[in-house]
Amino acid sequence: MPELPEVEVLRRQLRRALGDARLADMRIYERRLRFPLSEGFADTALTRDRRGTPRLEDIRRRGKYLLFHLSGGRVLLCHLGMSGQLLLEDSSQLEPRRHCHEHLAFLFRRRDRRGGSRTRTVRLGFRDTRRFGFWDIARADELSEHPRLRGLGMEPFDAGFGGSFLVGAFAGRRVSVKSALLDQRIVAGVGNIYASEALFRARISPMVCAGDLTARRCGRLAAGIVSVLEDAIAAGGSTRRDYVHSDGGGGYFQHRWSVYGREGEPCPGCRCRLAETGGIQKSLQSGRSTFYCPARQRR
């Protein structure tokens, strides 16, 4: 799925394209997502305020969630799951796109860039082959208490995130550090790809117990998380199979993965030592694959 960098790239694209558009209309083609779409989703989303249809005030991100803030204090929450996509088109057609697992479509109207009173209609389609993604609607003033957001941990780009935060968060934890990184209640937004990549950058074995990490290693890990997420955002995210940008294009960071998906390849940090190190290894940790270099990433 899209992890933090992919969601962030999408957020920036959508905000640029939609600006302060108004949500003019929407359709639901499939309610059975990872969690069934709530009864009043469309009606609540489309409720007009004094000036007309709801205005898009901002698009924010929390962990892997996209948050569409609408006027009138409503927020649309979107999680892309494993295969969710949000695609923009210049179109005013709400008919579903066939044979592409489109489940929702929104029409936004915004002022034409050339100014004047002309408006432009933009269609935003939500596609999700596996239907692990989901949407919900919440009141803005209750957003932090929403069941799906309430338990989320620290944002990696928050000022408070760093080695000492990880020391505290990992204290007493007997799970592996790799599993701890996937726990959204600790750090929000890191998924299976960037967990492996961050551990590689920090030169830490994914099998180490989170609670056993020294402060020094927690500092390296925090730096590795931030740097890999920043680099991935700058490269437009990673496109492996399902993730695409809002224009259908893809990111480039998959070409810069050091370990993920590179089983048997030479470690980029131990060049020319393939025979000694055995190259990148793959293992399973609580059902998810982990990639690492056993020579460079010590216990």
Partner DNA sequence: AATTAAACCTGGCGGC
Partner DNA sequence: TGCCGCCAGGTTTAAT
Least distance CB 273 / DNA (angstroms): 25
Q: At what angle do helices 163-170 and 215-234 cross, to 10 degrees?
A: 120
Residue positions annotated with a catalytic role? 2-3, 64, 288
Q: Does 286 bind DNA (CB under 7 A)?
A: yes
Nearer to DNA, 176 or 297 (CB): 176
| Residue placing its CB nearer to DNA in the complex, 34 or 111 | 34
Between 110 and 146, name the residue whose CB sits nearer to DNA.
Answer: 146
* Cβ–Cβ under 8 Å, residues 229 and 39: no
Q: Which of 252, 248, 251 is nearest to 87 (CA)?
A: 248
The tokens describing 56, both together, are 């898009």
Least CB distance from residue 71 to DNA, whole Å?
A: 27
User: Collapsing DSSP states into helix, strand and coil, what is residue 82?
Assistant: coil
Q: Which residue has the tokens 């961050």?
A: 198
Q: Which stretch binds DNA (CB under 7 A): 112-120, 157-165, 218-226, 281-289?
A: 281-289
List the one residue from 53, 71, 176, 246 that touches DNA (CB under 7 A): 176
Q: What DSSP character marks residue 274?
A: H
Question: How many Cβ atoms from other residues are within 10 Å of residue 219's Cβ?
Answer: 17
Site for DNA in 22-61 (CB under 7 A): 32, 34
Which residue matches tokens 């007997």? 174
* Rounded CA separation 60/40 (Å): 22
Question: Residue 176 or residue 246: which is nearer to DNA going by CB?
Answer: 176
SS3 139: strand
* 130 in contact with DNA (CB under 7 A): yes
Shortest distance, position 274 Cβ to DNA, whole Å: 21
CB 136, min distance to DNA, A: 10
Window 231-270: contact mask with DNA (x via CB under 7 A): ------xxxxxxx-------x-------------------
Side chain identity, residue 166: L
Tell me, by CB under 7 A, how many residues bind DNA.
Answer: 43
SS3 285: strand
Cα separation, 9 vs 80, in Å, equals 13
Where does this chain bind DNA (CB under 7 A)? 1-3, 6, 32, 34, 63-64, 79, 81-83, 101, 129-132, 147-148, 151, 172-176, 179, 182, 184, 191-193, 237-243, 251, 286-289
